[in-house]
Amino acid sequence: MSNTHRGDVDVKAGNKIYTLRLSVGALVQLEEHFGLGINQIAQKLSNTENMRLTDWVAVMWAAMRKHQPSATQEQASELIDDLGLEEAINALGRAMQAAFPPAKGGERPSPEAEAGGTGPASSSASSR
């Protein structure tokens, strides 16, 4: 059973329910696949025109592995086939949003904020 508070997203393909989660480990795996930081990956995922199928399979595989640790890239491909590309993309978008839940004030932090931002170090941090 999924835990939406932990970033889980359920998808149903055929008569089976898969739970997807873009955990920290999955996000690291995607950074390695894309050669990009998480903010750039989020931007890439939001602009689906430039995504390759190999990229979508990599994202689905990363999202599957928390709850299906033995999942293979072939199984990720099959899940995309079973869901249809549009539904798979929507599910992965929900998983990315769930990976960065709203702050207590109700606003969703950007991946940059989650990672500590990209601005210059504060004076206290730079004096260490």
42: Cα within 13 Å, side-chain hemisphere: 19
Does residue 120 surpass a pLDDT of 50? no
Residue 3 is predicted with a pLDDT of 60
Q: Where are the domains of the chain?
A: 4-115
pLDDT tens column, 46-97: 887 878 899 999 999 999 999 999 999 999 999 999 999 999 999 999 998 8
pLDDT tens column, 1-47: 556 556 899 999 989 999 999 999 999 999 999 999 999 988 888 88
pLDDT tens column, 99-113: 887 766 555 555 554
